Amino acid sequence: MLAIDLKGKTAFVAGVADDQGFGFAIAKALAEAGAEIAVGTWPPACNLFRMALERGKFDASLVLANGGKMAFRIYPMDAVYDAPADVPGEIREDKRYRENPNYTVEEVAAQLKADLGGRRLDILVHSLANAPEVKKPLLETSRAGYLAAVSASAYSLVSLSRHFAPLMNPGGAILTLSFLAGDRVVPGYGGGMNAAKAALESDMRVLAYELGRAYQLRLNAISAGPLASRAARAIGFIDRMLDYTERNQPLAKKLEANEVASAAAFLCSPLASAVTATILYVDNGYHAMGVGVDEKGMQGGDSTSLHTRPGFVPRAP
């Protein structure tokens, strides 16, 4: 049996603050494969995350297939800031940041290097996205809001790559998470997030080249379908998006976070040793659709036509 084996490897997953999103699911999948896990958590969410863990709120989610419990080290991280000099005064004085210091990308990389004690990192996962004006149409998005979205959601990959690549073993893997809005129009996904995802995917390809030549590292992206995570619900229309995609994608089923996590584990493993600069769609095939199959006028005007029924198999001519 061909198995994903990450025993003896160390992974850092940036963007974990609860047990709902893709970041947590990927961390768990890597742990299931044997990797040692560290996570980066937004400082304002750190205390709540730690408290929830201590109170056992996530105990069920932490159980591994072998009956053990996933363990991980938490690093406060705000990937909007590369170094301490970049942090504005109001952020430095914020209580939540003061209680969780050393959160810039440079500081987290330095602390991780010290904690590794001579060992090196093997896997880096970038599961970060934020747009302060995500609910605004692009026409109403301010310059500041637009640039903030690109900074937090796309440039953060550049920054993490620059600071973490020197800590990584040759042959290691970096993974980022994207979304179809970087290539297609998703009404309601605003605030500049469309541009941020497009930039993320373009940067991923360029960085894959540069990281491959300089550090012998691979970099790929997963373009995941919608998931009703806490972060996604902040957009405001996730339930309608989930309903629409499920009715119109080739596999008419709900996407599970563990399905994305399994694909991530493969891309981060030696089994994908020749895969880099690639976008892997894990969305039940929705990205391939050009027109909704349940729209009036399609399939002869019958939204429950033979072609949309479960079990339909087309016959050869």
pLDDT digits (tens, 9 = 90+) for 129-184: 999 999 999 999 999 999 999 999 999 999 999 999 999 999 999 999 999 999 99
Residue 157: CA count within 13 A, CB half-sphere:
32
Q: What is the pLDDT of residue 300?
A: 39
In 3D space, the residue among 22, 19, 1 whose CA is nearest the CA of residue 267 turns out to be 22
Q: What are the structural domains, with CATH classification, of the chain?
A: 10-288 (3.40.50.720)
Tokens of 113: 């290097």
Q: Which among 226, 196, 233 has a CA at the least distance from the CA of 286?
A: 226
Is-above-0.75 flag for pTM?
Answer: yes
Q: Which of 224, 203, 222, 283 is nearest to 250 (CA)?
A: 283
Closest alpha carbon to 128 in 16, 251, 252, 291: 16
- Report which residue type is found at 152: A
**Residue showing tokens 């994305």:** 260
Write the CB contacts of 129 (distance below 8 Å, at least 6 apart in sequence).
15, 152, 153, 177, 193, 196, 231
What would the 3-class secondary structure string for the chain be? CCCCCCCCCEEEEECCCCCCCHHHHHHHHHHHCCCEEEEEECHHHHHHHHHHHHCCCCHHHHECCCCCECCEEEEECCCCCCCHHHCCHHHHCCHHHHCCCCCCHHHHHHHHHHHHCCCCEEEEEECCCCCCCCCCCHHHCCHHHHHHHHHHHHHHHHHHHHHHHHHEEEEEEEEEEECHHHCCCCCCCCCCHHHHHHHHHHHHHHHHHHHHHHHCCEEEEEEECCCCCHHHHCCCCHHHHHHHHHHHCCCCCCCCHHHHHHHHHHHCCHHHCCCCCCEEEECCCHHHCCCCCCCCCHHHHCCCCHHHCCCCCCCCC
Q: What is the pLDDT of residue 106?
A: 98
Tens of pLDDT, residue by residue over 223-260, are 999 886 666 556 667 788 888 889 999 999 999 999 99
298: pLDDT strictly greater than 50: no
Q: What is the pLDDT of residues 202-229, one digit of tens each?
A: 999 999 999 999 999 999 999 999 886 6
Q: What is the pLDDT of residue 302?
A: 43
Q: What is the pLDDT of residues 50-78, one digit of tens each?
A: 999 999 999 999 999 999 999 999 999 99
Average pLDDT rounded to a whole number, residues 84-93: 98
Give the pLDDT of residue 310: 46
Say what angle helices 156-164 and 105-116 make with each other, to 10 degrees.
30
Count how many Cα atoms sit within 13 Å of the Cα of residue 266 in the half-sphere of its side chain. 13
Residue 217 has a pLDDT of 99
**pLDDT tens per residue, range 172-210:** 999 999 999 999 999 989 999 999 999 999 999 999 999
| pLDDT for position 306 | 37
**Averaged over 284-289, what is the pLDDT?**
94
